[in-house]
Chain A
């Protein structure tokens, strides 16, 4: 028998997933409150006891690996030059690496902006700007600003290659914690993620987990390897692409609704599927993650309310649901668990809105242009209309009896025909909440991780909605 244990130190829960490699299956899962503010090992031990209870005996693990989003996650600041170009490229790199992008700045930094980097306790600064051989003035200015104000966290230089040496001198002059990687936008509209990703991961391993009090756990487990969202993105990519002979599911979308945020992941290039559509703007990552900090079931319930129109709020009121009160109730009592039918119904309303708005921000959009040659469309972002599978995860989706309804809010909406949402995907649910664990496992045993996901992530409703989307 060969057993691996995967641990996910979340902001609220520490989740354990035990896997038997030979059986290629999960043998037990357990969770307990994360105790990072006192001693992270405490919550881990309690979860481990629950796991042994389930197994009916104590077992040993050949490998114990972990991912973490505890202690505020990986807080990042993305800096670039033009908003639609290097700023957006830097932002996408941060999100793909599993970061929480708390600050985004364009052009020359002001002293107020640098002060925010310090105040908000940012973990890593990603400094971009200029294509290779392009603008260097602004990025040099910004490096000086970070130096003058003594920003004492790792700074990754991911800008114009031509001034890398000058940047190095600035980093040395001010004794900044400088790191270097390839330009995130080496040529106009070309996105280059991998090199920056690698450096972010290295810093996460070397500095961040130590600084957040998570490192302590490494006396008992092998290693904390990834920020959790990055583990989920790896799982999604593996599930989509497959491994060697084992086929994947093809293009897919994944939605994770949490208490504070809603994350959307998509795997696939998302190119236009029709000839009258012209692709515009910055290249999209093949495996893409977006996270909405204003959409969540509890901490961000009032953000969900804000994205509702007055008409929607009025409609719910007519049906006897005071959405404003319900939002406040959830915000003020984040531990609240819906138990009766009515609360489950209201939770589903919030979840549907989270999904609908988060997906709208994730997918590409069409814009009609009238030309002498006839009507054509601009596509910015990914065309996800033909995505074959839509997977839901996160407590509310896994537990709600209305899961299919919630996921359906991600799909094509005839009121917004220009949004390139999935048209008729097969809907699946990650009932055992294993995605982050499988992302971790995929680093060592990709085939096993893939087979477990294919076994455990189950279809709820096939081809739920047949519509003819525009793209």
Chain B
């Protein structure tokens, strides 16, 4: 069973979507480690190390995602899990910006996949399965 660490990054307390993601991924047969809201980059990374996770899925809904996610890939490399899959989704930037640019910015930061506002978790599952070699 593949392990995925999920959580809401930064000073963000949006808990509802987080629970929906946990519910849906668990139903899909993943071992979900949910570190919940208000989680730091270190919380995600530590959890991924101990649980031998294949992926970290970061949620952010309050617009500060860009600040909160900066340097996360570098920290993963530092912590010895440099190859882990990093996903991010939600309202990850402030205001209405062209998503193509936003996606590029986050990919440059080392995220493997970036999802625009309003993406349901069901739409992400095929990508997860593909990236984890399950399809």
CB pair A188 B37 closer than 8 Å: no
Please give the number of chain B residues whose Cβ is less than 8 angstroms from any Cβ of chain A in the complex. Answer: 21
List, in ascending order, chain B residues with CB within 8 A of A129's CB.
50
Q: Does residue B128 face the partner (Cβ distance < 8 Å to A)?
A: no
The residue on B at minimum CB distance from A370 is: B11
Interface-lining segment among A308-316, A336-344, A372-380: A372-380
List, in ascending order, chain B residues with CB within 8 A of A135's CB.
49-52
CB pair A84 B51 closer than 8 Å: no
CB pair A130 B62 closer than 8 Å: no
CB pair B50 A185 closer than 8 Å: yes
CB pair B46 A82 closer than 8 Å: yes
Q: Does residue A79 face the partner (Cβ distance < 8 Å to B)?
A: no
CB pair A131 B50 closer than 8 Å: yes
Interface residues of A in 76-118 (CB under 8 A from B): 81-82, 84-86
Of B11, B38, B50, B62, which contacts A188 at CB under 8 A?
A: B50
Of A85, A131, A278, A372, which contacts B38 at CB under 8 A?
A: A278
Q: In whole angstroms, how far apart are the Cα atoms of A369 and B9 in the complex? A: 13
Please give the number of chain A residues whose Cβ is less than 8 angstroms from any Cβ of chain B in the complex. Answer: 25
Q: In whole angstroms, how far apart are the Cα atoms of A378 and B63 in the complex? A: 21
List, in ascending order, chain A residues with CB within 8 A of B42's CB.
84
List, in ascending order, chain B residues with CB within 8 A of A81's CB.
49-50
Q: In whole angstroms, how far apart are the Cα atoms of A369 and B64 in the complex? A: 14
CB pair B3 A376 closer than 8 Å: no
List, in ascending order, chain B residues with CB within 8 A of A369's CB.
11, 38
B37, B42, B47, B62 pick with most chain A CB within 10 angstroms: B47
Q: In whole angstroms, how far apart are the Cα atoms of A25 and B38 in the complex? A: 52
List, in ascending order, chain A residues with CB within 8 A of B12's CB.
371
Q: In whole angstroms, how far apart are the Cα atoms of A81 and B42 in the complex? A: 14
Q: Does residue B16 face the partner (Cβ distance < 8 Å to A)?
A: no
CB pair A188 B47 closer than 8 Å: yes
Question: Taking the nearest CB of chain B, how far is it from the CB of A373, in angstroms?
Answer: 6
Interface residues of B in 1-31 (CB under 8 A from A): 1, 3, 11-13, 31
Q: Does residue A134 face the partner (Cβ distance < 8 Å to B)?
A: yes
Q: Does residue B93 face the partner (Cβ distance < 8 Å to A)?
A: no
Q: Does residue B109 face the partner (Cβ distance < 8 Å to A)?
A: no
Per-residue CB contact flags for chain B residues 56-85 toward chain A (1 = under 8 Å, else 0) read 000000110000000000000000000000
Q: Does residue B35 face the partner (Cβ distance < 8 Å to A)?
A: yes
The residue on A at minimum CB distance from B12 is: A371
Q: Does residue A280 face the partner (Cβ distance < 8 Å to B)?
A: yes
List, in ascending order, chain A residues with CB within 8 A of B62's CB.
371-372
Interface residues of A in 102-159 (CB under 8 A from B): 129-131, 133-136
15 further interface pairs, Cβ-Cβ under 8 Å (given A133-B3, A133-B31, A134-B51): A85-B47, A130-B50, A131-B33, A133-B1, A133-B51, A134-B53, A135-B49, A135-B51, A136-B52, A187-B33, A188-B50, A369-B38, A371-B11, A376-B13, A376-B38
List 13 A–B pairs whose Cβ atoms lie within 8 Å, in order of A's numbering. A82-B46, A82-B49, A85-B47, A130-B51, A131-B51, A134-B51, A188-B33, A188-B35, A278-B38, A280-B38, A369-B11, A370-B11, A373-B13
